[in-house]
A and B are shown apart, each in its own frame.
Chain A
Amino acid sequence: MAAQTTLERPSAAAAAPAAPLLEVAGVTLQYKTKEHLVTATYRVSFEVFGADRFVLLGPSGCGKSTLLKGVAGFMSPVEGVMRLGGREITAPGPDRMMVFQEFDQLPPWKTVKENVMFPLRVTGKYGRREAEERALAYLDKVNLTKFVDAHPHMLSGGMKQRVAIARAMAMEPTILLMDEPFASLDALTRRKMQEELLRLWDDIRFTVLFVTHSIEEAMIVGTRILVLSPHPGQVKAELNTHDFDHRTVGGTAFQQTQQRIHDMLFADRIEEEEAAGHG
């Protein structure tokens, strides 16, 4: 099975245009728990270009969320370097707005509108009037105009995620970071949110780095997928999926690619089981 895939990296940046927006080069990330020093990713490299919908895909334990936290600046690599627009990433900053999986990412003491205005104001990027106008414009884009004065506890999970997305996009970050943003939603809402995200991308053409463990979601949302293996996270492949969306789900090409990624991700497990069987 592995023989079907290209095991070697494509030579240099032959087809790649201009300079990458985000450059992750040989990054090893480690974090400490009470008893262990965990290596989450090992020498991971990838490049994200402008308007990419770049997906980090892998099973739990492949360090994809840790990698995103690294890009966000919440942890620094023990090896390798991460650059955004040529500048090394050292600390968190509003040029990399993040959308989290958890619903409690919205400060409950602010209304929906204030939540979107908060980063705009607190970074000193906009004055009060401008911030309000921008907030309302982006809340309109995610269809929340009716709820601008509600507090987060009055909203459903999907609405909270839409506020978080509006909040991040209103900042017009260099790159938008999304950490399994739809994983806590029910299947119907998730699909709707994926569609909305793609529609917004058609509209604004932002660059997004998207983490998920769902192969289907990766293929629908992403233009390019970085497949990671677990324990520690290492790059397994980089695939193009710009041809796929909700309409192609269930098509032959879609299913073939899905199966290919599935085999890639679970080959390890079969090997492990075989090893255990022989041992």
Chain B
Amino acid sequence: MAEARLGELGGDAGRRQSIEPPIRAEFEVRVDDAGHVGDVARPLTTWEKIQNVTFLRRAAILVALALIWQLYATYLNNPLMLPTFWSMAKALVASLTADDLLLKAWVSISTLFKGYVIGIVIAMVLTSLAVSTRLGNDLLSTLTSMFNPLPAIALLPIAMLWFGLGEASLIFVLIHAVLWPLALNTHSGFMAVSETLRMAGRNYGLSGVRYVVHILIPAAFPSILAGLKIAWAFAWRTLIAAELVFGASSGSGGLGWYIFQNRNELLIDKVFAGLAMVIIIGLLIENVVFRWIEARTVQKWGMQRQ
């Protein structure tokens, strides 16, 4: 029947019916040397190895960007609007000694650290509740969709009203900046843990907090790490912005305050030096701290490619 139908179709389908694959002679050959490819495993050349060092490749990008900046600023020749890279670098070095820029950076970072840690703890509690009870799940979903889109800086006026002009207000907005993105990532990481791994964990008799600590958190670690990175970036930008608004508490301001002050005095190269400090710290945290964690966890475990 099928034949008849194919025949009716005519054309190609009908003609193809009668085609047989041609029968060819068998052969066996000796395998040659791989010739010009050389050894199967050849050591990489020095140049190839250098290209494989992530740090060097990225440093090259930074150098290129600095060069473009320098050339454009020289061409523009307006130090009030855009100082050259070189004058910024000089101001940065001078500020390190004259204006205690490192101390100011430390004030910012230590405040950030407090908010970051408290935010992580609350996020872990919330997500643990969310995976163990349905009410917790609904609570987290609702809270996250309410507060995640709300910019942390928008809470600053209320924070100042409640906690006054001090570190407490900053920590409050920092917790808000850290909590929601981290909770969202952690929760989606928990949800993505495979059913088999969950059953394996419960098979050992694990339940409650022990189940979360021994199974869910390590299994969801790639998502948690992504959440920690996002939370860090949110916290850092929130902190600098908040410091720009009210800056100094008890005489020692952070980086945001330093930027704000120098803009008021039209010391634009110092403003750029402050911004550069913000960027440098961001680069260091991302490329040193988080890279270090990644290499020792998710990459070693084969959960993320190297």
Contacts and interface: CB of A to CB of B under 8 A. Distances in A.
Nearest to B303: A108
B126 to A, nearest CB: 23
A58 interface: no
Nearest to A103: B196
Contacts of A104: 194, 196-197
Contacts of B205: 91-94, 122-123
- Interface residue tally of chain A, by bracket? 20 to 34
B218 interface: yes
A104 B198 CA distance: 10
A108 B203 contact: no
B194 A107 contact: no
Contact of B210 (A93, A96, A118, A122): A122
Given A122-B210, A153-B302, A105 B196 contact: yes
Contacts of A42: none
Interface in A35-85: 69, 72, 74
A244 interface: no
A151 B301 CA distance: 6
B202 interface: yes
Interface in B132-184: none
Q: How large is the interface on B (under 10, 10 to 19, 20 to 34, 35 or more residues)?
A: 20 to 34
A102 interface: yes
B91 interface: no
Nearest to A124: B205
B235 interface: no
Nearest to B197: A104
B297 interface: yes
Contacts, number: 67
B219 interface: yes
B202 A92 contact: yes
A98 interface: yes
A259 B210 CA distance: 49
A153 B221 CA distance: 16
Given A104-B194, A104-B197, A153 B301 contact: yes
Contact of B214 (A72, A91, A94, A122): A122
B233 interface: no
A107 B297 CA distance: 13
Interface in B208-228: 210, 214-215, 218-219, 221
A91 B301 CA distance: 30
A108 B214 contact: no
B230 interface: no
Interface in A98-126: 98, 100, 102, 104-109, 118-119, 122-123
A188 B215 CA distance: 33
A154 interface: yes
B203 to A, nearest CB: 5
A123 to B, nearest CB: 6
A151 B196 contact: no
A122 B206 contact: yes
B291 interface: no
Contacts of A96: 203
B200 interface: yes
Nearest to A98: B203
Indicate the member of B214, B301, B303 with the most A CB atoms within 10 Å: B301
Contacts of B219: 107-109
A254 B200 CA distance: 35
A107 B206 CA distance: 14
Contact of B302 (A74, A92, A97, A151): A151
B206 A108 contact: no
A273 to B, nearest CB: 19
Contacts of A222: none
A100 B200 contact: yes
Contacts of A230: none
Interface string B186-208: 00000000101101101111100
A106 B205 CA distance: 16
B300 interface: yes
Given A92-B205, A107-B219, A109-B221, 14 more contacts: A74-B199, A98-B200, A98-B203, A100-B199, A100-B200, A105-B197, A107-B197, A108-B219, A108-B301, A108-B302, A122-B206, A122-B214, A153-B301, A153-B302
26 contacts: A74-B199, A92-B205, A94-B203, A98-B200, A102-B196, A106-B200, A107-B197, A107-B218, A107-B219, A108-B219, A108-B302, A108-B303, A109-B219, A109-B221, A109-B297, A109-B301, A118-B204, A119-B204, A122-B204, A122-B206, A123-B204, A123-B205, A151-B301, A152-B302, A153-B301, A154-B302
Interface of A: 69, 72, 74, 91-94, 96-98, 100, 102, 104-109, 118-119, 122-123, 151-154
| Shortest Cβ-Cβ A-B pairs, 7 listed | A153-B302, A102-B196, A119-B204, A109-B218, A92-B202, A109-B301, A108-B301
